Amino acid sequence: MNLLYYFAMKTKSDALQKRNRNLEKVSHETAARPFSIHHTFVDGDNTNALYLHCHPEAEFFCLAEGEIQFFVEDQVITLRPGDAIFVPPDVTHHADKAPGISCSYDALVFSLDWLSGYLGGEGNLYVNLLLKSRTDAVTVYRRESAEDGETLLRLSHFKEYLDRPIQSYEMKLLGELMISLQEIFNAVSARMRYNEKADAAREGVQKGIDYLMRHYDDGVTLAELVEHSGYSESHFCHRFKAVTGYAPFAYLNRIRVIKAAERLIISEDKITKIAADCGFDNISYFNRVFRRQMGVSPREYRAGGRQGRKEIQ
């Protein structure tokens, strides 16, 4: 399944869900296959290896050739051939490389909701931790590390599935994912020290973040965010800034720009349409916010992100 096709179909699905909130969000039937495996080659003329984006799915990213700087939120991680990284849902990530050097990588993007049915249902311990802990769950695997050898071997199987009928590997893929996520869960659990009060405070903020992620294209109000968080307005704003580093509506603009950046790369839509679809009703304001966050104009970002990139199904 091609990743661009997956996102296109997901965008269509999201629109249908928005019109009818009573529909089940994701089918857990095998036919739904809410995952995507893809291989990408980026030639030497481009310094961008992976455009800035985020998505509600988790991702295993495996570098096959070249050397890149992989950015996950405020973390910068150097990846060399044979290294891999796990990216939790809803965190921004992108990658750059030196000019004159090509790179290629393989990625598996998959829905944790899909796996939740096998792990005890919605809100289960495993998925809940990986969703909530976001950057705490970022996991890097190094080719030179003996401890990571087994995991990297398992991840290398993903690219082998590209040319095979899905029925010949789907259950094996599920098993390999479960093993990998168990390892991540164990590592994250060992790193974390739970503080019930702090965790409860983050819970309300998380509800606000989740609401923004679902309704970034709507006219979201502070009253709606407060209602979903269970806090007073002043406490919500204070806690939101403490947890995310952003005021609520600055964070909303951040989400909107990231979603617009994705669309600029994966669609042929006009920039004015993308801006409107992502919640900006003023194109001049969109251009200013986009440039402030991304360092370039939307048009420049689109041109640079597409240059020298080839995706293989």
Per the structure, the complete domain to which residue 276 belongs is given by: 196-295
Question: What is the per-residue pLDDT across 45-78, written as a single tens digit (0 to 9) for each?
Answer: 888 899 888 888 899 999 999 999 999 988 999 9
Q: Burial code of 184-193, b = ≥16 C-beta within 10 A, e = fewer?
A: bbeebeeeee
Radius of gyration of the chain from its Cα atoms, rounded to whole angstroms: 19
Whether residues 124 and 82 share a domain: the answer is yes
**How does the average pLDDT of the chain come out, rounded?**
79
Residues 12 and 55 in one domain: yes
Statement to judge: residues 14 and 65 lie in one domain: yes
- pLDDT digits 0-9 by tens, 4-22: 333 333 443 343 333 333 3
- 45 and 106 in a single domain? The answer is yes
277 versus 204: which is more confidently predicted? 277
* Residue 199 to residue 197: CA distance in whole angstroms: 5
CATH number at residue 258: 1.10.10.60
pTM for the full predicted model = 0.68
Residue 176 lies in a domain: yes
Tens-place pLDDT, residues 92-107: 899 999 989 999 999 9
Residue that wins the pLDDT comparison between 202 and 181: 181
Number of residues that make up the chain: 313
More confident residue, 141 or 121: 141
Q: Picking from 25-29, 82-86, 88-92, 246-250, which range would have the lowest pLDDT averaged per residue?
A: 25-29
pLDDT for 86: 95
Give the residue with greater pLDDT, 127 vs 89. Answer: 89
Phi and psi at 179, nearest 5°, equal -65, -45
pLDDT digits 0-9 by tens, 112-130? 877 777 666 665 667 766 7
My answer on whether 217 and 154 are in the same domain is no
| Domain co-membership, 178 together with 232 | no
Task: Examine the domain organization and report whether 96 and 152 are in the same domain.
Answer: yes
